[in-house]
Amino acid sequence: MSELSRDPNLQSLAEAFLRAAQRQEDYTAFTTTFATIPQELLHQSLVTDGQRLAFWINQYNAWFLILRRDRRIPKPQVYQQRLLTIAGQSFSLDEIEHGILRRFRWKWALGYLPHPFPRPLIRQLAVQKRDSRIHFALNCGAQSCPPIGFYRPEVIDNQLALATASFLEAETQVTAKTIQTSRLLAWYIGDFGGRKGIRKLLRSVLGPMVKQQPIRFKAYDWTENFGRFMPSGTHPKE
């Protein structure tokens, strides 16, 4: 194994990997290390949901930059094909997002239906409890996507809370007659508990101005933007 693979802290490696991808530095040593780590180390290092969330969110965001920005893999192949290797196993971005992070939910079911036949490995690696806030942490390289942060298991709950609040505050406009918010919430409406759950979430972030106004979902800006990162210092460090 490489020198990097001797460091058993996979969380630190995943964060450093994402930083290298952000800066467009040479990340070959990281991809080689993650490809060759033993599966046993992967399972031993990712026990809690916090550990799984932080590791796989960082992996997803790093790999999307590499596959789409650097290798120019077209859509939808960039999501669907198993183009990355971790612990000797090939994964797709869809498997990370919808299999591991969403606990094998069917991609096209708005969050209401599970995927009927996930791979056994995906079942083993998936979070135990779904957390809808991951949708505000994953970046698909579009102008309307949430910005990328660097996630750590020991503070992941606070980080996801901050990412959620930051995104919804920026993307939601409330008037006396209507609420305009990101279409991202409509695509995964089941994850958020339906319209009632979305309203509750918006009220928790934006306060009493959110009443019973109709909720409308804005058009999504798919203009590519690979530079959307959380400002330094946005996320808690310890």
**pLDDT digit string, tens, across residues 172-181:** 999 999 999 9
Q: Sign of torsion, CA 186 161 213 218?
A: negative
pTM here is 0.94
Say what the pLDDT of residue 5 is: 45
> Where does the pLDDT of residue 3 fall: very low under 50, low under 70, confident under 90, or very high at 90 and above?
very low
Asked whether the predicted pLDDT for residue 104 surpasses 90, the reply is: yes
Say what the pLDDT of residue 231 is: 83
Average pLDDT, the chain: 94
What is the tens place of the pLDDT at every residue in 109-143?
Answer: 999 999 989 999 999 999 999 999 999 999 999 99
3-state secondary structure 29-91: HHHHHHHHCCHHHHHHHCCCHHHHHHHHHHHHHHHHHHHHHHCCCCCCHHHHCCCEEECCEEE
> Where does the pLDDT of residue 232 fall: very low under 50, low under 70, confident under 90, or very high at 90 and above?
low
Strand partners, 85: 90
